[in-house]
Every structure is written in structure tokens, then in C-alpha cells.
A and B are shown apart, each in its own frame.
Chain A
Amino acid sequence: MGVNMGNVLGLVFANMHDMTVGDLTKNRTMGSLLFGGRYRLIDFPLSNMVNSGINAVGVITKDNYQSLLDHLGSAREWDLARKNGGLYILPPFGNANASLYAGRIEALNGAMSFIRNSMCEYVIMSDCDVVGNIEYKPIVEKHVESGADITVVAHTGQYTADEMKMSTVLNTEADGRVNSVLIRPELSGTCTASMNIFVMKKDLLIEIVSDLIARGMVSFESDVLQAKCGELKIMAYEYTGYFSKITSVNSYFKANMDLLDPENAAQVYLPKRSIYTKVSDNAPAKYDLNCSVKNSLIADGCIIEGEVENSVIFRGVKVGKGAKVRNCILMQGTVVEDNAECNYLITDKNVTIGEGHTLTSAPSYPMYVAKGASV
């Protein structure tokens, strides 16, 4: 069954789940959180949309979106600088009396004129908490074929109590129809959890949002998925490919480290379906005479003179002579000076670890060092 993906409007929620990763999103949106050596989380839904043939994408933001605007620019790098369609950034809409939105429904209400103006028949919505190379076309095709009102992309697997606390859990019938929904349950074990990617008709979305706003309801999860799963045909689409879901600082750390395994990386970075990101014109990475690098991802612009192992190193990082970096995520511009040692650290942009200093944390709790800090 063929679906014209040009008839699907993409909506990306850049700020949903900001609170899940604590300080990492203190000065940025979840969408602009740095990931995997050279990406920001929004690169994944945006690239997936573009690679699926979607021409028009709205990015719904709430606050702290300066880094996001800087990252997206004219959206040319995602091939979304278009004459028809392209990328639209949708900051909160309102006057001085309006407050920032609390839930997804309010966020959508703020973007309503953009959604109404779109000529697309369908809408696909995604958050920025899932890292993966996901084809949206089969999802939309399945949605049309099944006659669903709403399709929720989900994955059935083992979840820990921590993951469940940040998830929407779907109970489904054999055909995938959702018959009840649990929001952030205190459970663990095997279940079907939402990946926060939804497909529906644009008109239905407009109708639901207008109706709920009039009733003062703000949550898509509880006021739509949970409350209306009898009345509407809500279907779960079982996604079986590789992905990581970021629900905490620990899962952020693990999602990065998982990409050190070439088998995982091969499922995210596909030659025919690239993950796009902003270009920064760095020189290649330079490896010095006595350096040692093992099992790590290194971005361009790095100068490595010391030892790096099991780490994800972003663009323009410097690791000095005799320095030892193990099990770390070092974001853009971090400098590890000569003979310094780092273990289980997440350093934000432009952090300096001073000469000879040792900073060590535990595998169960990687330490975060805030942007621009000098240790």
C-alpha cells in the first residue's frame, strides 16, 4: 500500500522530557542535548522524517530554545530549507498574559495556526527522547491500512522500574488495539511502552486539541490515549529495530556508550539513510605521537595526545599529554589538560579539567560537569 509521505506533516516536540535528564537540559531543550560525538537529539527525529519523504516539519519549542535555533539555522543541513514546506520553528504563541504550556495539548494549541494551514492529511509527531534510525513510512502505511484513529509507536521488551517511571505503557489486544493505558506506572518487567511517536489525521488532531483546550485538559497521554482508548481506535505499532530511549542521565550515558559497539552503530548510521546534523568545518582529528585510543568515538577537530578508552569525544576536544580519559562523554570544546584523569564523567561544553587533576565517579552514577566549568 502506498502512502504519499509528502502528505504527512512532521511535528517535533523539542522540550518534552526536559526534566528527565536534569542539569543536562538546564540551558537547552531536550532536542538540543548533545549526543553521540557530533549530534543533538533532534537530529534523529528530523533525519528520520526527511529520510521518510516528509517535506514539512514544525518544531514545537517552549523555553531555552536559543541553542536549538542556533543548531537548526536555515535547516539546510537536514535538506529542509525548502521553497515548499521545510522547517518551521514554533515557539510558544501568546501575549504577556499567556503562560508557558504545561502539556502536549497546550503545546499543540500554540502551534494550531501552523497545523491548520498545512495541506497535509496526516500528522506524525515525535519527541526527542528516542535515538534510532526509524523509517516512518511503514508506520504511516500501517496506520492507514488498520483504519486506526491514532497509531502509537511502541516497543515490547524488558523495562526497569526507572524506565517505567518515565514511560507510557500500553495494554493491547492481539491485533495491536490499545485497550488500556498506564502512565508512569510503578512496575518493572515485560511490557509494551510508547516511544512517543504518534500518527493521526490532521483533522482529528485539530478536533481533539480544540475540544480538550475548551475543557481545560492538557495531557495527550492521560486525556486522549488513556481516556479515549475505548471511544477511539488507538493502535500500537510494534517497532522492532534498534533504538535507545533516554529517560534519565544514566540512560543518556548508556545510550551514548551503546554506540561504541559497531553492531549497534551500524543500525543507527545507515549509508542510505544518513543522520544529518549541523556542519562545523572542523579539521580532521589529530592523533599525537604517544597517544592511545581504544574503543571510542572521536569527532573531527579533536587533538588527542593522551589516552582515551571507552569514551565518546565530541568535536574540538583536547586531551593533553599523559592525560587519561576512560568511560567519559566529553562534549564540544572540553579540554583535559596534561596528566589529568577522568573516569565516568559527562562534561558539558567548554569544560576544562586542570593539569594533573583526577575526577572519578562510579559506573552507576556518571558525574556531570556543567558548561564552562573549570575543575
Chain B
Amino acid sequence: MFNKKECVAMLLAGGQGSRLYALTQTVAKPAVPFGAKYRIIDFPLSNCINSGIDTVGVLTQYQPLVLNEYIGNGQPWDLDRLHGGVHVLPPYQKASGADWYSGTANAIYQNLSFIDRYDPEYVMILSGDHIYKMDYAQMLSYHKEKNAACTIAVLDVPMEEASRFGIMFARDDGEIYGFEEKPKVPKSTLASMGIYIFTYSKLKKYLIENENDKEATKDFGNNIIPALLDNKERVYAYRFDGYWKDVGTIDSLWEANMDLINPNIPIDLYDPAWKIYSRNPILPPQSIGKNASVQNSMVTEGCVIDGSVEFSMISEGVTVEEGAVIYDSILMPGCHVKKGAHVEYAIVGEDSVIGENAQIGARPETIEDKDTWGVAVVGHKLNISDGAVVAPKAIIYEDM
């Protein structure tokens, strides 16, 4: 017996995240460390619990080990529940055969039986690669108020960026009458945030129809939303005006981290009424040494800092030795930066070791040809030997 739930959230966390290169070689994108003590998936999971949604299915497929372990029984997000809670949903073998998730819509289709157990009125579709704080309860009331089949959260983006998104065309009352995926010449600036609420009966109907269509790519953006619009279903845009960032690329991941220490960016992690939860490491407080200088940065538990840290995000258990310089960089959990090493405009993966006097990345002002400049990336669990140089924009997959 399962208690009925008004709304069940399904979180798409199976994508490979190939544009994060070395950072997603062994880790699914939603499990990539973010903001010193979080992983990307903490944001949608915390939004769920803060919005009163206590039943969440997490659809995993690519490199699920770290992600599964991280989610565990859901306790850090208060999602270990007698009824509902968080459930990891990998593809599985059925009597009729076994299939990988072949698209976002197919992933939900394969888990209709999971949703059915809670007999929900509404289903929320979320992605595991966005950083934002949003009250889904307000979006759900909007969906009900509009008596919609589907509500899509949208963000007004600058015209010059609009071609990177799925762009919605909406009437003044919010009803969507068309959309274009990544248009070359955008005719609107309402970008889809990849957050949908469906009336479950409609969702189920369209998923089944889509599954029976052999031509379909089994994707929400390509198939389900166009089908709803073609059939004149009520599809509404829910305008969101807070901070939201897709962290699907190295540059956007780096920028979103830096946004957390930018006083002009409206994302507040210190609001007790809307905490972002994460699985806490069991580590002592950060120790800032006699030779340290830390400014404009975020640092978390278990760090031992004796070097200079500026404009950086330092995750749990990181060591920065005396004389090392960390500037405009992201150090993921367990990194060790040895004496005299310089890490500048770089992302260093989990448990990697940067040898003495090594140089990782460079400040843009030191580079003449700006086209060759970019954020340098060192993958997870790598050793960079003493004195080694990693050029800006380089992506390191192996020890050097």
C-alpha cells in the first residue's frame, strides 16, 4: 500500500555531461562537486523538500556509482520517508527485455509504474544540472490556476543569449503557442529552464503515444511538448525571475561557482528558511594557518589552508600548503596543492595532487593571445608532478 501523493518529482540525472570532459569521466554530472560543499543535485533535491515535495525519483544511467552512493537513503535532504522519499531509478530488465533510457521521455515512460504507485495528480520533471533556488509549490499553484496540461518554467534571457536555449512563444496570459529549440534568430527571449509540471493523466497519455511512435526521439523538448501544442493542450509558461544557471559546460560551471562569491548575484546560501542540504563530510572545522591569506572565497570543513586563496571555492578536505597560490579557481574535495604551486583560473578534480611549484592555468592578463585562454581543468584522482605546467584551457585526463 502506498499513500497517495499530490505531486511526484522525477529528476533526470542520467545524462553523460560530456561537455564537462574530465570532470564527468567517472562521475555523473549531477554528482559533480559544486560550491565548496555541495554537488549539483543538492539544488533540485533541496528545492523539492523545501517546496513540500517529498517523493522524488532520480533517473540514473551514466556512471551511477558516486551518484547512488551520494543520494543513499536520502536522509541528508530529509527524503528518507515512510511513504515516498527519494528513490534511485536505473534502467532495469523487464519480462519483455531490457532497454537503456533512450531519451528523457523514454526514461519517464519506463518508470510509469513507479509513479502509478503514488497515484499523483501532477508530476514534476526536473534536471540534475541546474543551480537555482525555486519554490515549486508556487509553480504548482500556477499550474492548477491555469488548469494546464503542462506548465514550463521560463526565464527571460538577454536576446544575445537566447539562441542557446529552447525558446517559448507565449501570449500575455502565459499560454504557450509555439517554441523553437536553440533558434539561430530568436523571436522571443523566454527560455525554457527544463522544469515541467504535467497533469499526470496527460503526461501518461502522451508518453505512451510517443513510445508507440517509431520515428520519435523519445525526448520532452523534441516530441512531448510539440505534441501537446499540436493537440491544442493547455501549455503555460511560468515566469521565474531568480538566479538560475545551467552548469553543463566547463565555463558555466566555473562561472556558477564564482557567482556564489559575487555580492551582486542574487543566490543566498545563508538563508535559514531555504537551506541547500548536502551529505555532510565528517571532518573537523577548517584550519587556517599562520601563513595563510584567504579572501573573497568559500572554504568548508576539513580544509587545511596555509597558502594564499583568493576568489576561489575550496571543497571539503582540501590542503593548500604554505606558499601555494589559489586564484579564481575551484578545488574539489580532497585536493592537495603543494608548496609554491600556482592554481589560477582552473578547476582541480577530486583527490588530485598538484606538485610543488606546478603551474595550473594562468590569469588572462598574462596571456597575449586571448583566444588561447580559458579555464584549465585537471580531472579527478590525478597526480601533477612537481614543476609541471598545465596551460590555460587545457583539460588533463591523466597523470603528468
Contact = CB atoms under 8 A, between A and B. Distances in A.
B247 interface: no
Interface stretch (B51-59, B117-125, B288-296, B354-362): B288-296
B222 interface: no
A355 interface: no
Contact of B295 (A268, A288, A301, A313): A288
Interface in A265-313: 265, 268-269, 274-276, 279, 281, 283-301, 303, 308, 312-313
A97 to B, nearest CB: 41
Contacts of A299: 285-286, 301
Interface string B291-318: 0111111111100100001000110000
B270 A283 contact: yes
Contacts, number: 100
A284 B303 CA distance: 11
Nearest to B287: A297
A86 interface: no
A36 B261 contact: no
Nearest to A308: B288
A210 B187 CA distance: 87
Contact of B284 (A275, A288, A313): A275
Interface residues of B, number: 36
B313 to A, nearest CB: 8
Interface stretch (B24-32, B82-90, B271-279, B369-377): B271-279
Nearest to A314: B285
A300 B35 CA distance: 13
Contacts of B280: 279, 281
Nearest to B299: A285
Given A300-B300, A303-B270, A287 B284 contact: no
Q: Which of A275, A285, A292: most chain B CB closer than 10 A? A: A285
Given A274-B282, A285-B286, A298 B299 contact: yes
Given A293-B294, A294-B289, 7 more contacts: A285-B298, A287-B296, A287-B298, A294-B288, A295-B288, A296-B288, A300-B37
Given A262-B304, A281-B278, A285-B298, A297 B37 contact: no
A300 B286 CA distance: 8
Q: Which of A36, A276, A297: most chain B CB closer than 10 A? A: A297
B270 A260 contact: no
Interface of B: 35-37, 75-76, 261, 269-270, 275-278, 280, 282-290, 292-301, 304, 309, 313-314
A308 B293 CA distance: 11
A38 interface: yes
A31 interface: no
Contacts of B284: 36-38, 265, 268-269, 275, 297
B290 A298 contact: no
Q: Which of A262, A284, A292, A312: most chain B CB closer than 10 A? A: A284
A294 B293 CA distance: 7
Interface of B is mostly: loop
B287 A260 contact: yes
Contacts of B278: 281
Interface string A226-270: 000000000000000000000000000000000010100100110
Nearest to B302: A269
Contact of B290 (A283, A295, A303): A295
A120 B272 CA distance: 43
B304 A284 contact: no
A76 interface: yes
A291 B285 CA distance: 18
Contacts of B295: 287-291
A38 B290 CA distance: 21
A313 B288 CA distance: 11
Contacts of B304: 262
Given A284-B35, A287-B298, A289-B295, A298 B289 contact: no
Nearest to B78: A281
A297 B286 CA distance: 6
17 contacts: A38-B301, A262-B289, A274-B283, A275-B282, A275-B284, A279-B76, A281-B280, A283-B269, A283-B298, A284-B37, A284-B313, A285-B300, A287-B294, A291-B295, A294-B288, A294-B292, A298-B288
